[in-house]
A and B are shown apart, each in its own frame.
Chain A
Amino acid sequence: MTLSGWIIMLLAVGGTTGFFFWCIHRVLRSPGQTDKLHGVLDTELEIEDEERKRRREGRGS
Chain B
Amino acid sequence: MHRPATESWSTQIGVILAVTGSAVGLGNFLRFPGLAAKYDGGVFLIPYFVALLLLGLPLAWAEWSMGRYGGTRGYHSSPGIFRLIWKNRAAPYLGVLGLVVPVVIYMYYVFVESWCLGYAWYYLTGAMDLGRDPVAYQNFFAAYTGSEKDASIFFSFLGTPLVFLVICIALNFFLINRGLTRGIELFCLWAMPALALCAVLVLIRVLTLGTPDPSRPELNVLNGLGQMWNLDAAGKSLWAQLANGKMWMEAAGQIFFSLSVGFGVIITYASYMRRDDDIALSSTTAVAGNEFFEVSLGGMITIPAAFIFLGAAGAVGGTFALGFNTLPLVFEHMPLGRWVGFLWFFLLFLAAITSSLSMLQPAIAFLQEGLGLTRTRAVAVLCGVGTAGTLLVVWFSKNLTAMDTLDFWVGTFCIYLLACVQTFLFGWVFGPQRGLEELDRGADLRLPRIFTFVIRYVSPVYLLVVFVAWAVQDMGNRIAAFTADPAVRWSMFFLVAVLALFLWWIRLAVKRWHAEEAAS
* Residues in A lying within 8 Å of B, measured CB to CB: 1-2, 4-6, 8-9, 12-13, 16-17, 19-20, 22-24, 26-28, 30-31, 33, 36-37, 39-44
CB within 8 A of B289: which of A2, A8, A13, A20? A20
Whether B10 and A40, one on each chain, are in contact in the complex, defined by CB atoms closer than 8 angstroms, is yes
Whether A37 and B300, one on each chain, are in contact in the complex, defined by CB atoms closer than 8 angstroms, is no
Q: Is B45 at the interface (CB under 8 A from chain A)?
A: yes
Given contacts A8-B229, A30-B278, contact A39 B288 (CB under 8 A): no
Whether A9 and B229, one on each chain, are in contact in the complex, defined by CB atoms closer than 8 angstroms, is yes
CA distance A1 to B281 in the complex (A): 36
Whether A12 and B285, one on each chain, are in contact in the complex, defined by CB atoms closer than 8 angstroms, is no
CB within 8 A of A2: which of B226, B228, B295? B226
Whether B12 and A33, one on each chain, are in contact in the complex, defined by CB atoms closer than 8 angstroms, is yes
CA distance A6 to B231 in the complex (A): 9
Whether A23 and B285, one on each chain, are in contact in the complex, defined by CB atoms closer than 8 angstroms, is yes
Whether B10 and A12, one on each chain, are in contact in the complex, defined by CB atoms closer than 8 angstroms, is no
Count, A-B residue pairs, CB within 8 A: 110
Chain A residues with CB under 8 A of B288: 16, 19-20, 22-23
Given contacts A4-B232, A41-B182, contact A27 B285 (CB under 8 A): yes
Whether B186 and A41, one on each chain, are in contact in the complex, defined by CB atoms closer than 8 angstroms, is yes
Prevailing SS type, chain B contact patch = helix
Give the 7 A-B CB pairs with smallest separation, nearest first.
A39-B10, A40-B10, A1-B226, A8-B42, A5-B230, A23-B285, A20-B292
Q: Is B291 at the interface (CB under 8 A from chain A)?
A: yes
Prevailing SS type, chain A contact patch = helix
Given contacts A17-B296, A19-B288, contact A37 B11 (CB under 8 A): yes
Q: Give, as a whole number of angstroms, the nearest-CB distance from A11 to chain B.
A: 8
Given contacts A1-B226, A2-B232, contact A40 B8 (CB under 8 A): yes
Given contacts A1-B226, A5-B42, A12-B295, contact A27 B13 (CB under 8 A): yes
Whether B181 and A41, one on each chain, are in contact in the complex, defined by CB atoms closer than 8 angstroms, is yes
Q: Is B16 at the interface (CB under 8 A from chain A)?
A: yes
CB within 8 A of A39: which of B181, B222, B223, B232? B181
Chain B residues with CB under 8 A of A23: 281, 284-285, 288-289
- Contacting A at CB under 8 A, from B1-28, are 8-14, 16
Whether A2 and B230, one on each chain, are in contact in the complex, defined by CB atoms closer than 8 angstroms, is yes
CB within 8 A of B229: which of A1, A17, A20, A39? A1
Whether B291 and A4, one on each chain, are in contact in the complex, defined by CB atoms closer than 8 angstroms, is no
CA distance A37 to B16 in the complex (A): 12
Q: Is B170 at the interface (CB under 8 A from chain A)?
A: no
Instruction: Provide a sorted-by-A list of 5 A–B residue pairs whose CB atoms are within 8 angstroms.
Output: A2-B232, A8-B45, A8-B229, A12-B229, A16-B296
Chain B residues with CB under 8 A of A37: 11-13
CA distance A33 to B291 in the complex (A): 23
Q: Is B445 at the interface (CB under 8 A from chain A)?
A: yes
Whether B231 and A8, one on each chain, are in contact in the complex, defined by CB atoms closer than 8 angstroms, is yes
CA distance A30 to B250 in the complex (A): 37
Q: Is B34 at the interface (CB under 8 A from chain A)?
A: no
Given contacts A5-B42, A20-B289, A24-B285, contact A12 B299 (CB under 8 A): yes
CB within 8 A of A5: which of B182, B231, B292, B296? B231
Q: Is B444 at the interface (CB under 8 A from chain A)?
A: yes
Q: Give, as a whole number of angstroms, the nearest-CB distance from A52 to chain B.
A: 18
- Contacting A at CB under 8 A, from B287-305, are 288-289, 291-292, 294-296, 299-300
Q: Is B412 at the interface (CB under 8 A from chain A)?
A: no
Whether A5 and B229, one on each chain, are in contact in the complex, defined by CB atoms closer than 8 angstroms, is yes
CA distance A10 to B316 in the complex (A): 22
Whether A1 and B285, one on each chain, are in contact in the complex, defined by CB atoms closer than 8 angstroms, is no
Whether A5 and B225, one on each chain, are in contact in the complex, defined by CB atoms closer than 8 angstroms, is yes
Q: Give, as a whole number of angstroms, the nearest-CB distance from A24 to chain B.
A: 6
Q: Give, as a whole number of angstroms, the nearest-CB distance from B16 to chain A.
A: 7
Given contacts A2-B231, A4-B42, contact A16 B285 (CB under 8 A): no
Q: Give, as a whole number of angstroms, the nearest-CB distance from A43 to chain B.
A: 8
CA distance A44 to B186 in the complex (A): 13
Whether B226 and A5, one on each chain, are in contact in the complex, defined by CB atoms closer than 8 angstroms, is yes
Whether B223 and A13, one on each chain, are in contact in the complex, defined by CB atoms closer than 8 angstroms, is no
Q: Give, as a whole number of angstroms, the nearest-CB distance from A19 to chain B.
A: 5
Q: Which residue of chain B has its CB nearest to the CB of A19?
A: B288
Chain B residues with CB under 8 A of A6: 229
CA distance A31 to B49 in the complex (A): 31
Q: Give, as a whole number of angstroms, the nearest-CB distance from A39 to chain B.
A: 3
Chain A residues with CB under 8 A of B292: 16-17, 19-20
Beyond known contacts A5-B232, A20-B285, A23-B284: 19 more, CB 8 A cutoff: A1-B229, A4-B42, A4-B230, A6-B229, A8-B41, A8-B229, A12-B296, A13-B299, A16-B295, A19-B292, A20-B296, A23-B289, A27-B281, A28-B13, A36-B12, A39-B9, A40-B8, A40-B9, A40-B10
